[in-house]
Structure 1
């Protein structure tokens, strides 16, 4: 990892407006991701993890704040160039795999390169096969997604993310649709890719998988907090949610709930 951050977020806010209701999904998020770093983002459901990842992946824009990617402010980049950056600089791995069912494994992995100018058919093939070899799926090039297990599909999805040689790999709950054995295998694959030099930012709700990262970022109610604060806030939230049930149980035990 170098001292030059690949990603810098400063005061990122995201507000959604629906039926005259404001939902503050992100509230002043600040952090950097260095080149070659492996970062996990974790927190309870609804804390803003996926919204943040969408902004990092140029799939959404912040309401306020500054996002700098590769020393360029994203706000200064037009829609057409953003699409090019997504294709060249960012590799996506999704919980649901998002493979195209009527394309073979090879065709799925090759697909991002077909949108690039100046990449020959021979080069596309060479790079697709190399990416599949990295994830241990080169022997399945002619298979279709429906012929693969969930773990194998996610490996193919990782190969598709890698084929463009992106600056950063963004993984959104990459083990969410997998059993524990396949989940561990995918996490070990990401760990190997990181050790080989890949920059990875992963969203996960599972503390076991967050531990694979070099650095853990914790989120609660749209803001970044330290680990101790997150555990305290989660405990307080759990206690708040349990109060009605405890009150009902106490009333029933003392006869207060009788008709």
Structure 2
């Protein structure tokens, strides 16, 4: 294993993902290379269908690549079985979803504590301390007994961020974290993400909004399952629009 894969939290090489449906092959990722260092704040952007969410699912161990290498904190994780991926995901990765994914019949506190109940050997007192501390970090400790339906969208996303933070993950993966929020709440969540980054959190965020992508310190652009430069992305998008208007293939 090379030094680069050891020194980065995430390091992937020649990652591909092919989906098979009937006789059709869909190449969602086509040889992606990516490294994310400790403390980085990275935004992934690109047009719909470019592979952003597929890549984030693989980074989060929710899915496996078809081919390629993936190391997480120096450990090869590309070909792990379901149980090992679940265990590492619970310990190493914090997820923030567009739709919040809070459980409606659990309180704010219970939602944040829930992932910690799957940590073998973690005592109840430690789970409580971690959950409360995470809620304090997102200014939601005063809502521990409330239910998700009693919160605004922005407040629900703050609780979702607290849930992601409670396990002290190596990296936060955020999939369109402002997608279900109005502009005011979206900006508030972005300020929260910046605050967490300034405190040392490593963040990888998928967003279609260039305003929010600009909050990150590094931007990665995807097009047709490949990482491209910003100039290349603009050229490809322009060519795609031109082909659509003229009815010709790119």
Q: Give the TM-score, by structure 1 length.
A: 0.92
Cα drift, residue 76 of structure 1: 5.2
Deviations 1:69-120 (A, max 9, x none): 1111113533222111110100000000000000000000000111111111
The match for 2:84 among 81, 87, 93 is 81
**Cα distance, 1:240 vs. partner?**
1.8
Does the alignment pair 1:237 with 2:245?
A: no
- Greater mean alpha carbon deviation, residues 2-11 or residues 96-105: 2-11
Partner of 2:141: 138
The answer to whether structure 1 residue 185 and structure 2 residue 194 are counterparts is no
Contact 2:68 2:78 in 1 (8 A): no
1:220-259 pair list within 5 angstroms: 220-243=223-246
Residues 1:44 and 2:47 are matched in the alignment: yes
TM-score (norm 2): 0.95
Unaligned runs of 5+ in 2: none
Aligned mates of 2:184, 2:78 — CA distance in 1: 41
Question: Helix, strand or coil: the match of 1:53?
Answer: helix
Q: Which runs of 5+ in 1 are unaligned?
A: 245-259
Q: CA RMSD in A?
A: 1.2
Number of equivalenced pairs: 243
Aligned twin of 2:219: 216
Return the match for 2:100 from 97, 101, 106: 97
Moved over 6 A (4+): none
Structure having the higher Rg: 1
Tell me how far 1:48 sits from its aligned partner: 0.2
* 1:31 and 2:34 aligned: yes
